[in-house]
């Protein structure tokens, strides 16, 4: 029992449940496929930058992350004031929700999607309007538009969507943005965008035969829609999840307000340095992202052959819509040394080394045959 008073909103706020580590299993190597981490080693240049910046732990980092912010602004060809760096995209997301939502307002988001959305929205006291996904785990943008109310301050979009992997197309995004009230902020969470085919920018092509659109051209989006903010992270394609560094691109007015929420010094010097080094080696990151994409598409195809209707994914993960059997499948994986993520409606599996994926397909084959 506590004898202090907390805000009523907390009663409704779920705590974040992180992906489980694998349980050790005699005689086999265990793999963690439950947190959408990158399974490859970090870039040597990033490691070197971390070591270089680790020599001054007695000093606070640059609170404005000036050099990284300038590098990001140059990379995205936007003014410096359109970028803010944060401790992961998570801190940027919390800031965006924090500057807009409060009790008496509402926030619209797709569901299932990133688990932090309901958590952070609830925390503010705002009402959660969770809009169910459409076929193949795609966001139902017309339904999300319908769900916007007078008191709605924010809409969250996630593309590729975690956990289903669906990528939003340019045309549906434009139709959506043209109809959203101008005073409602729209956040496009692109944590996984570098893994999506066609992420190099060609907006309207059908990127592969598996029915995935190329991702939205968010640079054009930012220039076109003043109420759009784009969230990115170094945790996924750049493989720097442990360092906690991400950023937001938006109009200076939005960035200015976010700075009031983001904790000073939240991005450490090694994190800033590693992100900058990684950004300078984007060609290598692109090669690795493509390799992850190949493993992902092979995994999805093999799981479909086994009989699981895995939707096309643009992330570093695939979605197994197993419904009520999700826990049973997650348990079977754990017993074989693989930690996967049961999210209730299905199981999300992060791309890992070939051996882990081969084992997963074997487990799935036996499981479906039961």
Ligand X SMILES: Cc1ncc(COP(=O)(O)O)c(C=O)c1O
> At its nearest, how many Å lie between ligand X and the CB of residue 26?
31
In this structure, are residues 274 and 49 in contact, taking their beta carbons and an 8 Å threshold?
yes
Dist CA 268 CA 59 (whole Å): 10
Of the residues 110, 118, 197, 246, which one makes contact with ligand X according to CB under 6 A: 246
> At its nearest, how many Å lie between ligand X and the CB of residue 150?
28
> At its nearest, how many Å lie between ligand X and the CB of residue 9?
22
Of the residues 126, 158, 187, 349, which one makes contact with ligand X according to CB under 6 A: 158
Residues 316-345 that bind ligand X (CB under 6 A): none
Q: Considering beta carbons, is residue 71 or 89 the nearer one to ligand X?
A: 89
Omega into 163 within 30° of 0, i.e. cis? yes
Q: Dihedral sign, CA of 95, 348, 339, 296?
A: negative
Q: Considering beta carbons, is residue 89 or 216 the nearer one to ligand X?
A: 89
Sole window of 63-71, 87-95, 335-343, 351-359 interacting with ligand X (rule: CB under 6 A): 87-95
163: region left, alpha or beta (phi > 0 left; psi from -120 to 50 alpha): alpha
Dist CA 6 CA 3 (whole Å): 10
> At its nearest, how many Å lie between ligand X and the CB of residue 120?
11
Q: Considering beta carbons, is residue 20 or 365 the nearer one to ligand X?
A: 20
Of the residues 114, 247, 319, 329, which one makes contact with ligand X according to CB under 6 A: 114
> At its nearest, how many Å lie between ligand X and the CB of residue 88?
2
In this structure, are residues 157 and 138 in contact, taking their beta carbons and an 8 Å threshold?
no
The set of residues, in sequence order, having a beta carbon less than 8 Å from that of 353 and lying 6+ positions away, is 31, 39
Tracing tokens 């947190």 back to the chain, one arrives at 35
| Residue in 233, 213, 249, 244 with CA at minimum distance from that of residue 50 | 244
Residues 184-223 that bind ligand X (CB under 6 A): 189, 191
User: CB nearest ligand X: which residue?
Assistant: 88
Sole window of 85-93, 100-108, 290-298, 349-357 interacting with ligand X (rule: CB under 6 A): 85-93
Dist CA 120 CA 111 (whole Å): 14
Of the residues 34, 69, 90, 248, which one makes contact with ligand X according to CB under 6 A: 90
Dist CA 91 CA 258 (whole Å): 10
> At its nearest, how many Å lie between ligand X and the CB of residue 25?
26
Dist CA 370 CA 361 (whole Å): 14
Sole window of 82-90, 282-290, 323-331, 353-361 interacting with ligand X (rule: CB under 6 A): 82-90
The residue count for binding ligand X (CB under 6 A) is 13
Cα distance between the two ends of the chain: 46
In this structure, are residues 146 and 295 in contact, taking their beta carbons and an 8 Å threshold?
no
Q: Which residues bind ligand X (CB under 6 A)?
A: 36, 88-90, 114, 158, 162, 189, 191, 233, 235, 241, 246
């Amino acid at each position: 029992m506590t004898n202090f008073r907390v805000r009523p909103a907390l009663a409704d706020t779920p705590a974040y449940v992180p992906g489980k580590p694998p349980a050790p299993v005699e005689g086999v190597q265990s793999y963690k496929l439950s947190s959408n981490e990158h399974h490859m080693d970090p870039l040597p240049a990033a490691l070197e930058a971390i070591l270089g910046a680790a020599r001054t732990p007695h000093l606070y980092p640059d609170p404005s992350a000036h050099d990284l912010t300038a590098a990001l602004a140059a990379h995205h060809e936007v003014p410096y004031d359109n970028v803010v760096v944060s401790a992961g995209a998570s801190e940027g997301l919390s800031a965006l929700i924090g500057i807009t939502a409060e009790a008496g307002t509402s926030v619209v988001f797709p569901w299932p999607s990133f688990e932090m959305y309901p958590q952070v929205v609830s925390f503010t006291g705002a009402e959660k309007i969770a809009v169910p996904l459409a076929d193949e785990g795609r966001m139902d943008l017309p339904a999300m538009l319908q769900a916007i109310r007078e008191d709605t301050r924010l809409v969250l979009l996630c593309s590729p969507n975690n956990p289903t992997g669906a990528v939003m197309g340019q045309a549906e995004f434009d139709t959506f943005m043209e109809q959203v009230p101008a005073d409602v902020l729209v956040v496009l969470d692109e944590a996984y965008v570098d893994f999506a085919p066609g992420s190099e920018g060609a907006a309207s092509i059908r990127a592969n035969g598996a029915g995935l659109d190329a991702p939205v051209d968010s640079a054009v989006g930012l220039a076109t829609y003043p109420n759009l903010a784009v969230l990115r992270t170094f945790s996924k394609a750049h493989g720097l999840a442990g360092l906690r560094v991400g950023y937001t691109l938006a109009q200076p007015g939005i960035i200015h307000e976010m700075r009031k929420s983001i904790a000073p010094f939240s991005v450490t010097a090694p994190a800033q340095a590693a992100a900058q080094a990684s950004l300078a080696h984007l060609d290598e990151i692109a090669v690795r992202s493509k390799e992850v994409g190949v493993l992902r598409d092979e995994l999805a195809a093999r799981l479909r052959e086994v009989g699981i209707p895995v939707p096309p994914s643009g992330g570093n993960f695939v979605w197994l819509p197993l419904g009520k059997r999700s826990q049973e499948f997650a348990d079977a994986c754990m017993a074989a040394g693989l930690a996967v993520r049961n999210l209730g409606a299905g199981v999300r599996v992060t791309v890992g080394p070939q051996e882990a994926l081969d084992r997963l397909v074997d487990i799935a084959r036996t499981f479906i045959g039961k």
